[in-house]
């Protein structure tokens, strides 16, 4: 442990994309950071892409006709390279360094942009995996992304109150309707969230069915507000 700590101060950080020396804590040089696919022109509620030149704070048609069960979804990136590479590397190749990278990248917009004029949530809840999937993978990618966020913002992380009790097929490759049926009724909350503002953290949001099911379970336990923090939004 001593030598690992010493190495952080002695050895130069290298950008994970181009290999250049980096002064950033998340090992990404300034030029590569500027080239990341920051999500623009998005719905003010669900962060889905809107047509160019759409005014700020505009809601998409889906949110206007059928509002989602969360209060706001904050997504930093569109799901395209290099974000796709990082997420796949994390989930399926056990490259946990990408979890720290993605978590660190989320801290600035959370603290200085999304919550610049409002209080931070009371509690962070990573979207849970079913115990079988957790045992197979060895870690929950949402939890690993949430760790540096919780630490940097000094927000408690709840890893046991929300349970995924239904083992489901992987969402990738399923149609929108199949995704909805696949996760329906999969989550249960086993503690009170009465009067609390919750930040629900996940790596990627596609159709939003998984996070919606989580929100239904959390609402039943009295949560006052639920915001979604995700690294990336899959765009149509």
Distances (CA, A) of 51 to 31, 204, 220, 233: 27, 21, 35, 16
How large a percentage of the chain has pLDDT more than 70? 86
Q: Is 101 helix (H, G, I), strand (E, B) or coil?
A: helix
Q: Is 52 helix (H, G, I), strand (E, B) or coil?
A: coil
pLDDT of residue 1: 43
Range 38-233: architecture per CATH: 3-Layer(aba) Sandwich (3.40)
Q: What is the pLDDT of residues 13-23, one digit of tens each?
A: 788 899 888 77
Is the confidence at residue 45, as pLDDT, over 70?
Answer: yes
Token digits for 77? 């990136």
The phi and psi torsions of 112 (rounded to 5 degrees) equal -105, -10
Question: Comparing 179 with 21, which gets the higher pLDDT?
Answer: 21
Strand order in the sheet with 197-205: 72-78, 225-233, 197-205, 123-126, 156-157
Phi-psi sector, 132: left (phi>0), alpha (psi -120 to 50), beta: alpha
Whether a cis peptide bond, with omega within 30° of 0, leads into 14 is: no
pLDDT of residue 55: 83
Q: What is the pLDDT of residues 69-82, one digit of tens each?
A: 999 999 999 999 99
Give me the residue spans of the domains in the chain.
1-35, 38-233
Q: What is the pLDDT of residues 96-129, one digit of tens each?
A: 999 999 999 999 999 999 999 999 999 999 999 9
């Amino acid at each position: 442990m001593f030598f690992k700590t010493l190495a952080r101060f002695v050895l130069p950080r290298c950008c994970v994309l181009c290999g250049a020396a980096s002064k950033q804590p998340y090992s990404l040089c300034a030029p590569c950071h500027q080239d990341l696919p920051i999500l623009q022109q998005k719905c003010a509620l669900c962060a889905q892409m809107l047509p160019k030149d759409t005014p700020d704070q505009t809601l998409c048609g889906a949110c206007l006709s059928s509002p989602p069960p969360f209060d706001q979804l904050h997504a930093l990136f569109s799901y395209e390279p290099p974000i796709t590479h990082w997420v796949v590397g994390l989930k399926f190749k056990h490259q946990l360094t990408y979890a720290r990278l993605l978590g660190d990248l989320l801290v600035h917009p959370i603290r200085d942009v999304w919550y610049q004029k409002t209080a931070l949530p009371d509690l962070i809840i990573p979207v849970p995996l079913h115990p079988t999937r957790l045992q197979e993978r060895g870690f929950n990618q949402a939890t690993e992304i949430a760790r540096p966020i919780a630490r940097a913002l000094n927000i408690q992380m709840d890893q046991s109150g929300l349970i995924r009790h239904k083992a489901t097929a992987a969402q990738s490759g399923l149609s929108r309707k199949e995704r909805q049926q696949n996760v329906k009724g999969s989550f249960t909350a086993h503690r009170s969230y009465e009067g609390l503002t919750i930040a629900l953290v996940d790596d990627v949001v596609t159709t939003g069915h998984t996070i919606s099911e989580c929100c239904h379970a959390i609402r039943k336990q009295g949560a006052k507000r639920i915001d979604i923090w995700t690294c990336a939004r899959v765009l149509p």
